[in-house]
Amino acid sequence: MKLLKLLPAFISLIILTSCMGDGHNHSHDGDNHDHGTTDTPDTTIHYQQEKHLANVKQLTDGGDNAEAYFSFDNSMIVFQGKVPSWGSVCDQIYVFPFSDGDMKTEMPKLVSNGLGRTTCSYFMPGDTTVLYGSTRSGGDECPPDPERREDGKYVWPIYPDFDIYIADLQGNLVDTLISGPGYDAEATVSPNGDMIVFTSDRTGDLELYTCDINGNNVNQVTFELGYDGGAFFSPDGTKLIFRSSRPKTEAEIKEYKDLLKDGLVKPTNMELYVCNVDGSDLKQITKLGKANWAPFFHPSGEKVIFSSNHASKRGFEFNLFMINIDGTGLEQITYDGIFDAFPMFSYDGKKLIFSSNRNNGGTKNTNLFIADWID
CATH number at residue 356: 2.120.10.30
Residue 30 covered by a domain? no
d(CA 18, CA 145): 20
Residue 162 neighbours by CB under 8 Å, 6+ apart: 21, 119, 133, 134, 135, 183, 184, 185
Output 221 or 148, whichever has higher pLDDT.
221
Residue 221 covered by a domain? yes
CB burial class (10 A; 0-12, 13-18, 19+) of residue 294? buried
Residue 47 covered by a domain? no
Q: Which pLDDT band, with edges at 50, 70 and 90, does 6 fall under?
A: very low
Q: How far is CA 147 from CA 106, 140, 153, in A?
A: 34, 21, 11
pLDDT on residue 5: 40
In tens, the pLDDT along 338-358 reads 999 999 999 999 999 999 999
The 3-state secondary structure of 68-133, one letter per residue:
EEECCCCCEEEEEEECHHHCCCCCEEEEEECCCCCCCCCCCEECCCCCCCEEEEEECCCCCEEEEE
Q: How far is CA 269 from CA 163, 226, 241, 315, in A?
A: 26, 11, 17, 12
pLDDT reading at 37 higher than 50? no
Average pLDDT over residues 37-49: 76
Residue 175 covered by a domain? yes
Show the domain range for 354.
Answer: 53-373
pLDDT on residue 314: 76
Average pLDDT over residues 292-308: 98
Rounded to 5, what percent of the chain is helix, strand, coil?
Answer: 5, 40, 55
Phi, psi of 270 (to 5 degrees): -135, 145
pLDDT reading at 16 higher than 60? no
Nearest CA among 159, 162, 186, 179 for reference residue 260: 159
Per the CB < 8 A criterion, the answer to whether 53 and 71 are in contact is no
In tens, the pLDDT along 183-223 reads 999 999 999 999 999 999 999 999 999 999 999 999 999 99
pLDDT reading at 127 higher than 70? yes
Residue 325 covered by a domain? yes
Q: Where are the beta strands (DSSP E) in 223-302?
A: 227-233, 239-245, 264-265, 271-276, 283-284, 292-297
Residue 14 covered by a domain? no
Output 56 or 3, whichever has higher pLDDT.
56
Residue 21 covered by a domain? no
In tens, the pLDDT along 164-179 reads 999 999 999 999 999 9
Average pLDDT over residues 144-163: 88
In tens, the pLDDT along 56-91 reads 999 999 999 999 999 999 999 999 999 999 999 999
d(CA 251, CA 102): 50
Beta bridge partners of 367: 356
Q: Work out the percent of the chain whose per-residue pLDDT is above 70.
A: 89
pLDDT reading at 130 higher than 60? yes
In total, how many domains does the chain have?
A: 1
CB burial class (10 A; 0-12, 13-18, 19+) of residue 251? exposed
pLDDT on residue 40: 61
Residue 230 covered by a domain? yes
Q: Which pLDDT band, with edges at 50, 70 and 90, does 14 fall under?
A: very low
pLDDT reading at 8 higher than 90? no
In angstroms, how far is the first alpha carbon of the chain from the final one?
26
Mean confidence (pLDDT) of the chain: 89
